[in-house]
Structure 1
Amino acid sequence: MQVSVETTSGLERQMTVTVPAERVDQDVNSRIQQTARTARIDGFRPGKVPVKVIKRRYGPGIREEVLGQVVQESFYEALQQEELMPAGGPSIEFKNDKEGEDFQFVATFEVYPQVELADYSSAEITKLKAEVQDADLDQMIETLRKQQAGWEAADRAAAEGDRVKIDFEGFIDGEAFDGGKGENMELVLGSGTMIPGFEDGLVGAEAGAEVELNVAFPEEYHAENLKGKPATFKVKVNAVEAQVLPELDEAFFEKFGIEENTLDGFKAEVRKNMERELAQSLKMKLKDQVFGKLVEINEIDVPSALVDGEIDNLRRQAIQQFAGPNADLDPNMLPKEMFEEQAKRRVTVGLLIQEVIKANEIKVDEDRVRSTVEEMAETYQEPQQVIDWYYGNKEMLSQIENLVLEDQVVDQLLASAKVSEEEVSYEEAIKPAQQETAEESAEGEDA
């Protein structure tokens, strides 16, 4: 078998493999002989069909099967011979498959990049620190009360935080537009549900009032035909309702499954959950920062096959998140461009993590795996059942092991980085990274 490899571009390789005719013909003849022993053809006794008849009837199909098998075997052998690691399945093109001549095909594929890790000691990492203060706990309890709140009619003008029931119709240049009409819609003023100016314009209105609102659709509005357009909404306020918060009593505590139905017990449980959420958020922000710096100082090519695979994963996750796990929707309906940047970063981070693991010979810490599983199990009513389930499920346990390995990589990188600490509020600490980025962009535009 002869093999030649050409680098066509970046990580793409084009490998030409030539297999001696004897190897192919031998396999073809062997299969024809096997077929002759079992084939049933009218006019011939079983096992007595002449080989030339078998070859004429089944030969092309048998040869096609043999060539497929030869491609699989010889491609793997060629990879071993050339010490190549493909990052995805190959594209195969037959160059010569004529009977009696050497079989030749070309395999085009991408390989994993060769990575030489940059020195991480120059990385500057800011480790955020925060605590749950009493004021944070009080605010969380108020949030929980609002989630369980009821509504009652208010004989007064609407204020921010009130709920109004409205009929409305929107007009652009005096003409009603599709989707701009609603009846008896419930709207909490200040919720940001409607476009800017709509909710503000209803503050001060009483039940029975008819209000005309002159607003404008945002430039980034999802409907192309409405972006940036000025509009007039005619609104009738059918009702004004005030929010009624529940009392902090046993009935309220029971809704959260608190064993100790007292205010102190409830506060202790809420604080515990807040501290767990805070620790997880700080950990994730630190990990994102560490891996972000790792990507920044290590510029590597990433195989498009891996990026495409990750895009498919993100598409499926998006469908499950927004339409449910049993949704019968084609993930490919979501544009590839929506996920391309995120997928590329994930692949890049994954490749660099594997390189750090290999370079530092990091092995998964089984004690950390156990403590991670136990920590996750604490949030369930029967922790031991959850622990047993993880340790009885290899796939799920493997996911935990991968998370722990990531944590170990973070520790390894932090050990050589320049790390400083910064005290932040609980609210800032738990704020999602995407929200922080959006707020920073808005501040930049305001400046």
Structure 2
Amino acid sequence: MKKIFKVCMCGLIAAALISGCSKKDVKETTGAEAEATESSAQETVAVKDLTDIDNGKVTLGKYKGIEVTKEKVEVTDEEIKQAIDSDLSANTKKVDVDRAVQDGDVVNIDYVGTKDGVAFEGGTAKGTDLTIGSNQFIDGFEDGLIGAKKGDKVSLNLTFPEQYQNADLAGKPVVFEVTVNAVQEKQIPELNDAFVQENTSFKTVDEYKEDKKQTLLASKNEQAEQKVKNDIYTAIADASKVEPNQEAIDANFDNMIAKYTNQAATYGMDFATFVGAFTGMKEEDFKAAAKAQAEEAVKQRLVVYAIAEKENITVSDDDRKKVAEDLGYESAEKLLETESKFDVDDYIINNKVMDFLTANAVIK
């Protein structure tokens, strides 16, 4: 299957690329807070200018009058409820309670972790908030606090996982002395006019629900339109003979890796650690996927640029200005100080060609 026809500049929407990935859940395997795996900041890697690179050859097939079907868009009552429930959960309040700790409660604790009677690094903290059941700490820590009350001191005899990253603690028995400072219950607000007026710009629940419905419809419609564009491009690519140049594929791949490496450096992380943390992929798997994406990018560029040439579709200063405004830059000049002219123009030409193809398609 061809990838979705949606051109993204790594530099311009790096945050979107990262958040769009399947981020790994990081389980805290110490009694302390999560330890970020960081290395010293890496050297910045140069990104190649792809302006003059030979992408290869393409013989276009039919690209006008492509017949596609747009999916029917609708929103169910359950989807509206889920969206509202999400808002209610986001406004959850923590209320102090005078009772024993239960699953789901938030406890404020002090703790000291020892191995063979000696406190170990990273195992001591004061005033830490912990949600019971969040699996932030090693197995047995959170369950061991259930039933305790404010002011109680609890001794937890636990064992670190065999595969724990710190060899000095992996598989070793430890003791945590925990003091419960406070117990809080999470209270999800009730959906009523008072909640709506306090947390939204609406006055009634009905107005709020209607807005949720329209927001969901707009989102689904955007997805449906994107699928239409993807289907149009897929049909054109399948009808064309595309011969990508390996040099161009390698250059695109190198740029992808360079951009992710530079992004990792801003977090003080090396490439492999960054990729693992933000995508959940091993370095070799990520690079294999990036190589395939680089090849698809070159093929797509061949098709798109060939159509642009045939239809005299070009990039103007006004186009760059519009992109700069959309992305929050003061001017096109400021945009080009951050992003390469090639990336900006590539983004624009892809979108303009896709708009042309959509306007000349037969959408049922």
- TM-score normalised by length of structure 1: 0.46
Which residue is equivalent to 1:301? 246
- Separation in structure 1 between the aligned mates of residue 169 and residue 311 of structure 2, nearest angstrom: 52
Note closer, same or farther for the CA distance 1:181–1:331 as it changes in structure 2 (3 Å cut): closer
Question: Shift of residue 169 of structure 1?
Answer: 2.9
Question: Shift of residue 409 of structure 1?
Answer: 10
Question: Shift of residue 357 of structure 1?
Answer: 1.7
> Aligned to 1:214, which of 130, 134, 158?
158
Q: Which sections of structure 1, spanning at least 5 residues, go unmatched?
A: 1-86, 90-109, 120-126, 324-328, 377-385, 416-447
- Separation in structure 1 between the aligned mates of residue 244 and residue 157 of structure 2, nearest angstrom: 52
- Separation in structure 1 between the aligned mates of residue 149 and residue 101 of structure 2, nearest angstrom: 6
Question: Shift of residue 353 of structure 1?
Answer: 0.8
Residue aligned with 2:56, SS: coil
Q: Which sections of structure 2, spanning at least 5 residues, go unmatched?
A: 1-46, 62-69, 276-282, 337-343
Tell which has more relative contact order, 1 or 2 (C-alpha 8 A, sep 6+). Answer: 2
Conservation of the 8 A alpha-carbon contact between 1:316 and 1:331? no
- Separation in structure 1 between the aligned mates of residue 233 and residue 168 of structure 2, nearest angstrom: 40
Verify: 1:188 aligned to 2:131, yes or no. Answer: yes
Note closer, same or farther for the CA distance 1:115–1:245 as it changes in structure 2 (3 Å cut): same
Question: Shift of residue 313 of structure 1?
Answer: 2.4
Larger Rg: 1
Spell out, residue by residue over 1:9-64, the C-alpha distance to the aligned partner (whole angstroms, 9 max, x if none): xxxxxxxxxxxxxxxxxxxxxxxxxxxxxxxxxxxxxxxxxxxxxxxxxxxxxxxx
Which residue is equivalent to 2:215? 273
Q: How does 1:325-364 map to 2 (within 5 A)?
A: 340-341=287-288, 343-358=290-305, 360=307, 361=310
Say which structure is richer in helix. Answer: 1
Which residue is equivalent to 2:351? 404
- Separation in structure 1 between the aligned mates of residue 332 and residue 211 of structure 2, nearest angstrom: 30
Which residue is equivalent to 1:232? 174
Residue aligned with 1:313, SS: helix
> Aligned to 1:140, which of 72, 83, 105?
83
- Separation in structure 2 between the aligned mates of residue 181 and residue 410 of structure 1, nearest angstrom: 61
Question: Shift of residue 186 of structure 1?
Answer: 0.6
Spell out, residue by residue over 1:324-346, the C-alpha distance to the aligned partner (whole angstroms, 9 max, x if none): xxxxx799898795974565344
Conservation of the 8 A alpha-carbon contact between 2:80 and 2:212? yes
- TM-score normalised by length of structure 2: 0.54
Conservation of the 8 A alpha-carbon contact between 2:57 and 2:244? no
- Separation in structure 1 between the aligned mates of residue 200 and residue 91 of structure 2, nearest angstrom: 14
Q: State the superposition RMSD in angstroms.
A: 5.4
Q: Between Structure 1 and Structure 2, how many residues are aligned?
A: 278
Conservation of the 8 A alpha-carbon contact between 1:132 and 1:275? yes
Conservation of the 8 A alpha-carbon contact between 2:101 and 2:148? yes
- Separation in structure 2 between the aligned mates of residue 290 and residue 160 of structure 1, nearest angstrom: 51
Question: Shift of residue 347 of structure 1?
Answer: 2.8
Spell out, residue by residue over 1:220-260, the C-alpha distance to the aligned partner (whole angstroms, 9 max, x if none): x6x454785355352332222111233445564356542x3
